[in-house]
């Protein structure tokens, strides 16, 4: 099972990103452990450019203010499912 972390402060962008991620995971049928990281001190440990951000097994997938659509997330997750 893959581990996905959604880094953000719980604001509307963070919630939208989490929603898009859940929708993409469901459509791909990929089992994943999804963790919401909202503590500022925890977020700072990841040394990312901006939030919200998504990490897959510790590797940054999306950051720097880019809000991936459900389709973008589905495409990336489909590749993970095929490789897994």
Residue pLDDT, tens place only, 16-57: 999 999 999 999 999 999 999 999 999 999 888 899 999 999
Homologous superfamily in CATH for domain 2-83: Glutaredoxin (3.40.30.10)
Domains of the chain by residue range: 2-83
Backbone angles phi, psi at 54, to 5 degrees: -125, 135
What angle, 0 to 180 degrees and rounded to 10, lies between the N-to-C axes of helices 12-28 and 70-83?
50
Name the maximum alpha-carbon separation found in the chain: 34
Q: What is the pTM of this model?
A: 0.90
């Amino acid at each position: 099972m893959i581990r996905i972390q959604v880094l953000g402060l719980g604001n509307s962008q963070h919630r939208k990103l989490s929603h898009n991620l859940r929708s993409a995971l469901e459509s791909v049928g990929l089992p994943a452990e999804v963790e919401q990281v909202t503590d500022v001190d925890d977020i700072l440990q990841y040394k990312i450019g901006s939030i919200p951000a998504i990490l897959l097994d510790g590797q940054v997938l999306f950051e720097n203010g880019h809000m991936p659509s459900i389709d973008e997330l589905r495409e990336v997750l489909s590749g993970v499912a095929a490789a897994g």
